[in-house]
A and B are shown apart, each in its own frame.
Chain A
Amino acid sequence: MTNVIGKSATRVEDKRLLTGQGKYIDDLGTKVNTGHAAILRSSHPHAYIKSIDKEAALKMPGVKGIITGEDIRGLVKPFSVGVMAPVEYYPLAIDKVRYVGEPVAIIVAKDRYAAEDALEKIKVVYESLPPLVGIERALEEDAPILHENVGSNIANHREFNYGDVDKAFEEADRIVKHKFNFPKYTATPVETYGVVAEYDPAHDQYTVQANFHGPFVIHSIMAQALQIPSNKLRIIVPKDIGGSYGIKAGIFPYIVLCGLASKLIGCPVKWIEDRQEHLSSSASGTDRVTYIEAAVENSGKVTGLRMKMIDNVGAYIRAPEPASLYRNHANSTGAYDIQNLHIDAYAIMTNKSPTGLIRGYGGQELYFPLERIMQEVAKELNMDHADVIRKNLVKEAQFPYKTASGGTYDSGNYEESFELALATGKYEEFRKKQEEARKNGKILGVGLACIVEPSGSNMGYITVALTPEERAGSLPKSGAAEAATVSMDPLGSVNVRISTTPSGQGHETVAAQIVSEVLGLPREQINVVAELDTSTSAWSIASGSYSSRFASLGSSAIYYAAHKVRTKLFKIAADQLNVKEADLELEKGSIFVKNNPDKKFSVKRAAGLAHWHPTSLPDGMEPGIYETYYYTADVAQAPNEQDMINSSVTYGFVADMVTVEIDPDTAEVKIIDYFTVHDAGKLLNPLIVDGQIMGGLAHGLGGALYEELAYDKNGQFLTGSFMDYLCPTAPEIPNVTIKHTESPSPLTPLGAKGLGEGNTMSAPVAVANAVSDALAHLDIMIDDLPLSPTRIWKLMGEAKEKVTTP
C-alpha cells in the first residue's frame, strides 16, 4: 500500500502560518518579570579589553543588570570542540576581542528600547592589536596570533593519503592545477536568533526556549560549559522556526549567555537578535582557499587528486567545526571514480566571525575547486567539458561504490542523470547558439556541474579531525541516531512526536503521511508534535535538523515507530480474532483476516483495549500504545585506523546545466536558464521536494552572484545590513527546470535520501563554469566568487590588456 507516501500532499503546517497563527520564539508569551536583553559588541577586530565602565549604564531607567566577561570568568568553562588546539571560547569576550561583533556585555532591562539606551552608555577601553584577515596570511610566521595559548592560528591540521597518489601523478600525462578562493557567506533566515532563558535557583536548573535545531550533541557542550548535570539544562524548541539553513545551530553560545544572565540578574531573560547582530555575529560558512591538482590522462580520465584546503573558521573554532572540512570527506572526489586522493586540511582562525552549519555545509567549498578543475581539464585537453565528465563519472555497475576515502555511495545512475540534464538543457543546440551569438558580439556560456549530495551525517566523521592515535584516547563516535514516538490514546487518536526540529521543511506533513500509511488511517487524523523538549522528548546527540537528515533518518525513525504500533495492534487483533498475526491485513482503520475480510477488528478498538481493558491483552503485553523507535544506520561506522570514513548515510546526485549571457559593456551576468536533475532516491512528497530544491538553488545562486560577508583589510565588517549583504530577490531568480531520476537507497526503509542542499553546493560552481565558458575567448580564469559585475569587468579588462600588449 503506497497511497500516501510519495504523494504531493499539501502541508498541514500551512493554515496556521498563513493566518498569522504560527508560534515562533518571539511569539511565545513571557513571564511578567522577564528582562529584555541587548548585547554590546566589539567594534574592534582584534584588541585587548582594558576596561569596561558600566556605572552610567546601570543608572539608566529600566536597567535590571549588566554582565561582562569579568562577571562570568570562572562560572563557565570554554565550549568544548573536537580539536586538540586549546582554543578558549566563551559566550562573552574575556580580556580580548577577536572579531567585530563579538559580545562584550549583555544588558538586561525592562524592554529592548531601554536596554539599547543603556548599551550606549557603557564605556569600553580597547587596546588595538594588528588584525588578521587573510586566510594564507594566518599561516605565515609573523602573522598576528589570535589565541596566544594555541601558539599559532591553526585550529586543526590533518593530512590524508588514499590509494597511491604519488604514482598517479608520476604517471599522469598532464597535471592541471589551480588555486581557488571560496568566499564567506551566510543564509540569513528571515527570523533571527531568539532565546528565552530562565534560571530556577531552587533546583539549580536552566529552562531555555530557543529556535535551536540541533545537532543536540551541542546540548552536552552547553551543559559542560555551564558545569551542571545535563538534566539541569532543559531546552525547549518551538514548533515553528523561521528558517535556518543550518545557521541557527550557532545560537548555542547565546543560550548559555542568556542562561547565565538569568542566573546572575535574577529574572528570566529574553533576547531577540537584530539583523545587524545577525549579519556580524551569528554564523556563516567558511571562506576557503583550495590548491587543487588533478593527475590527468590524455583521454580525459582523472587518476588522482591533491587538495590543500585551508578553511577559515573565524575568530574561534566552535562546534561543530572543523566539520566543514570533513562533512564531505567520503565524497571528496565528488561524482567521479578517482581512487588516488591526497588531502591536506587546515582549519585556521582569523579576525572574522565564527562559522558553523550552513546549507550545503562544506559542499560548496569542496565542489567549487573540484568542478572548476574538471572544466580546466577539458580546456587543457581541448575536450568538451561534458566529455570529461562522462569519462570520469562513477558507472552504474559500480554501485554501491566505494570511494577512496571510505565512503559508500549507496545507489545511483550518474550517467543517466547527467545525460538527462544535457538533454533537458539542449546542450548541443546551445553550443551552436553560442557560436552564432559570438559572431554578433554577444557573450553566451554554458556551465556544467555534477555533484554527490551527502545526507544524514555520520556522527563519527567529525573525529577524523583527530589522528588515529588521538582518537584512540577518547570514546569512539559513530551512528546517526534519530528518534520518533508514535502513540495512540484511549479513543484511538494518534500522536506523533518527532525530534527533527523542522524550520520549514514540512516534517509534520511527511510524518503524518508515513504514519497514515503504516497505520491505515487518514493523514488528517494524525497529530504531529514538532516541539522538542530535551526533558521529555526522545532524542539523541544526532537529533535535529541538519545534513538533510529527515528523509533518510527522521523518516525512518517515524516509519519504524509506526510499525511498532502496527505490530502491537496486530498482536491484539490476532489474539481477539484468534488468528495468526501473519494472516492479518490493515486498511482504512480496520484489521482483518486476509482471506476472510469479514472477520475484522477496528484499529480504534484494538487501541482502546490497550487502555480501557488491559487485562484482556495477550500475556505479557504492556498496556497503552506508546512506541518510541531509535533509528541509526549501520553504515555510519566510526573511522578506521586508515582514516577511512563513510561520512554520510545516503548519497544523492545532482547534475546541473546553466546558461548565461554576459553583457559585453557592463559585465553583468544574466542567467538564461537553469536545469537541474536530482536523484534523491524515492521521493516522500514531490511538492515539498521541489520546494526544497528551489530554495537550495536560490541560495546557491546567491553564493554565485551576490552574497558575501565582506571585511576590509583592517578587519572591519562591511556588510552589516541588508543594503550591503545582498540576498537574491524574486527578479534575480531565473527560469529553473527541475527533473528527477530515482535510484532508491537500499539502506533506508522507504528508499529515500536527503535533499535540498544539492544546488547550494552546485550552483556557485555551475555558474562559475558558465561564466568561464562564456569568457573562454579571453582566456579568463574564474577562481573567486561572488561573480559581481565589478569583478568580471576587471577580469575582462585585464584579459583584453594581455591580448593587446603582448
Chain B
Amino acid sequence: MGKHEIEVTINGKVYQEEVEPRMLLSDFIRDVCGLTGTHVGCEHGVCGACTINVNGTAVRSCLMFAIQADGQQVQTVEGLSNNHELTDLQKNFIECHGLQCGFCTAGILMSTEDYLEKNPNPSSKEIKEMLSGHLCRCTGYDGIVKAIEKTIEERNQSVLS
C-alpha cells in the first residue's frame, strides 16, 4: 500500500507529489499544496465547505481521493480572482453581506461560479436549491442569495449593453 506519484494542476500550477491512495483530495489541497482557502467541515459530503472545481465541475473535495485527481484540472477559491482583483461575485458578497465567519464561503463561491456558468439565469428557487448543498450557520442564507441575484442581474445587464 505504498505511495503513488500524482500530478494535479491547481489554479494553473502543477503539483507533483507522492500520496497514499487514501489521502482525501481536501487534505491534499490544504496540507500538501498549502492552499488553505478550501475548508473542511464534515468529511461526509453534506456541508459543502470543501467544494472545489474539478475539470469544470463543482464537487466535494472530501469525497474524492487525491489520487483520483491525478492529471486533472482543479480550481480552488485562491484561483477565482486574478491579481487580487475581486470577481463580481466576490464583490457582491461584500456588498450584500453574504458572509460572516467566512468558513463556508469558499465552497459556496466555487459552487455558484460553476452553476451560473451552466445556468446563467436561475430563479430564486433554483438558486436556493443549488445552495441547499451548503450549510451556513451565520447568515441565514439571505445575504448569499442576494449577492448571487445581484451578480446575475449585473451580468445580464453587461450582456445587454
Q: Do chains A and B touch in the complex (CB under 8 A)?
A: yes
**Residues on A close to B: CB < 8 A?**
10-11, 13-15, 17-22, 24, 26-27, 113, 187-192, 240-243, 245, 274-275, 503-506, 687-688, 690-692, 694-699, 721-723, 727, 729-731, 733, 736
Other than the given A13-B102, A15-B86, A695-B140, 12 more pairs (CB < 8 A) read: A18-B102, A19-B81, A26-B30, A190-B39, A192-B41, A242-B103, A691-B142, A691-B143, A694-B140, A722-B47, A730-B145, A736-B140
Does B5 belong to the interface (CB within 8 Å)? Answer: no
- Which of the residues B20, B39, B80 comes within 8 Å of A242, measured between beta carbons? B39
**Residues on B close to A: CB < 8 A?**
20, 22-23, 30, 35-44, 46-47, 49, 76-78, 80-81, 84, 86, 90, 93-95, 97, 99-106, 109, 125, 127-129, 131-145
In the complex, what distance in Å separates the CA atom of A241 from the CA atom of B93? 19
Of all chain B residues, which has the CB nearest A13? B102
Evaluate contact between B103 and A694: CB separation under 8 angstroms: no
Evaluate contact between B22 and A729: CB separation under 8 angstroms: no
Residues of chain A lying within 8 A (CB to CB) of residue B128: 730-731, 733
For chain B, what secondary structure do more than half of its interface residues adopt (helix, strand, loop), or is it mixed? loop
For chain A, what secondary structure do more than half of its interface residues adopt (helix, strand, loop), or is it mixed? loop
Instruction: Evaluate whether A27 and B36 lie within 8 angstroms (CB atoms) in the complex, with A191-B101, A729-B131, A730-B145 already known.
Output: yes
Of all chain A residues, which has the CB nearest B107? A190
Q: Which of A18, A275, A736 has the most CB of B within 10 A?
A: A18
In the complex, what distance in Å separates the CA atom of A736 from the CA atom of B146? 13
Q: What's the minimum C-beta distance from A673 to chain B, rounded to whole angstroms? A: 14
- Which of the residues B49, B94, B101 comes within 8 Å of A241, measured between beta carbons? B101
Residues of chain A lying within 8 A (CB to CB) of residue B102: 13-14, 17-18, 22, 240, 242, 504
Residues of chain B lying within 8 A (CB to CB) of residue A275: 41-44, 47
In the complex, what distance in Å separates the CA atom of A698 from the CA atom of B141? 8
- Which of the residues A191, A691, A697, A727 comes within 8 Å of B39, measured between beta carbons? A191
Evaluate contact between B137 and A187: CB separation under 8 angstroms: yes
- Which of the residues B35, B100, B105 comes within 8 Å of A18, measured between beta carbons? B105
Q: What's the minimum C-beta distance from B108 to chain A, rounded to whole angstroms? A: 10
Show 26 residue pairs from A and B whose CB-CB distance is below 8 angstroms, ordered by the A residue: A18-B77, A18-B94, A18-B99, A24-B36, A26-B40, A113-B22, A190-B101, A191-B103, A242-B39, A243-B103, A275-B42, A504-B99, A504-B102, A505-B100, A691-B97, A691-B138, A691-B142, A691-B143, A698-B137, A698-B140, A699-B137, A723-B44, A730-B134, A730-B145, A733-B128, A736-B140
Q: What's the minimum C-beta distance from A707 to chain B, rounded to whole angstroms? A: 11
- Which of the residues A192, A241, A730 comes within 8 Å of B141, measured between beta carbons? A730
Residues of chain B lying within 8 A (CB to CB) of residue A187: 137
Evaluate contact between B139 and A188: CB separation under 8 angstroms: no
In the complex, what distance in Å separates the CA atom of A241 from the CA atom of B134? 18
Of all chain B residues, which has the CB nearest A18? B90
Closest 5 CB pairs of A and B: A20-B37, A17-B102, A504-B101, A242-B103, A698-B140
In the complex, what distance in Å separates the CA atom of A698 from the CA atom of B136? 10
- Which of the residues A10, A17, A727, A736 comes within 8 Å of B95, measured between beta carbons? A10
- Which of the residues A188, A695, A697 comes within 8 Å of B100, measured between beta carbons? A695
Evaluate contact between B131 and A697: CB separation under 8 angstroms: no
Instruction: Evaluate whether A274 and B43 lie within 8 angstroms (CB atoms) in the complex, with A14-B93, A27-B36, A113-B20 already known.
Output: yes
Evaluate contact between B137 and A20: CB separation under 8 angstroms: no
Instruction: Evaluate whether A190 and B46 lie within 8 angstroms (CB atoms) in the complex, with A14-B94, A18-B94 already known.
Output: no
Of all chain B residues, which has the CB nearest A736? B142
In the complex, what distance in Å separates the CA atom of A11 from the CA atom of B139? 14
Instruction: Evaluate whether A243 and B129 lie within 8 angstroms (CB atoms) in the complex, with A20-B35, A20-B76, A698-B141 already known.
Output: no
Of all chain B residues, which has the CB nearest A19? B81
Evaluate contact between B137 and A695: CB separation under 8 angstroms: yes
Evaluate contact between A15 and B41: CB separation under 8 angstroms: no
- Which of the residues A20, A505, A692, A697 comes within 8 Å of B106, measured between beta carbons? A20
Residues of chain A lying within 8 A (CB to CB) of residue B138: 243, 504, 691, 695
Residues of chain B lying within 8 A (CB to CB) of residue A736: 140, 142
Q: Which of A189, A691, A696, A733 has the most CB of B within 10 A?
A: A691
Q: What's the minimum C-beta distance from B96 to chain A, rounded to whole angstroms? A: 9
Residues of chain B lying within 8 A (CB to CB) of residue A13: 102
Q: What's the minimum C-beta distance from B36 to chain A, rounded to whole angstroms? A: 4
Residues of chain A lying within 8 A (CB to CB) of residue B125: 731
Residues of chain B lying within 8 A (CB to CB) of residue A697: 140
Instruction: Evaluate whether A240 and B145 lie within 8 angstroms (CB atoms) in the complex, with A15-B94, A190-B47 already known.
Output: no
Evaluate contact between B97 and A21: CB separation under 8 angstroms: no
Evaluate contact between B141 and A26: CB separation under 8 angstroms: no
- Which of the residues B44, B84, B94, B100 comes within 8 Å of A722, measured between beta carbons? B44
Evaluate contact between A189 and B94: CB separation under 8 angstroms: no
In the complex, what distance in Å separates the CA atom of A504 from the CA atom of B143? 14
In the complex, what distance in Å separates the CA atom of A236 from the CA atom of B154? 42
Q: Which of A20, A26, A187, A694 has the most CB of B within 10 A?
A: A20
Evaluate contact between A687 and B140: CB separation under 8 angstroms: no
Of all chain A residues, which has the CB nearest B87? A18
Evaluate contact between B42 and A20: CB separation under 8 angstroms: no
In the complex, what distance in Å separates the CA atom of A694 from the CA atom of B143? 9
Residues of chain B lying within 8 A (CB to CB) of residue A696: 140
Residues of chain B lying within 8 A (CB to CB) of residue A245: 137
Evaluate contact between A504 and B46: CB separation under 8 angstroms: no
In the complex, what distance in Å separates the CA atom of A687 from the CA atom of B127? 22
Instruction: Evaluate whether A733 and B97 lie within 8 angstroms (CB atoms) in the complex, with A24-B39, A190-B41, A191-B41 already known.
Output: no
Q: What's the minimum C-beta distance from B34 to chain A, rounded to whole angstroms? A: 9
Q: What's the minimum C-beta distance from A358 to chain B, rounded to whole angstroms? A: 11
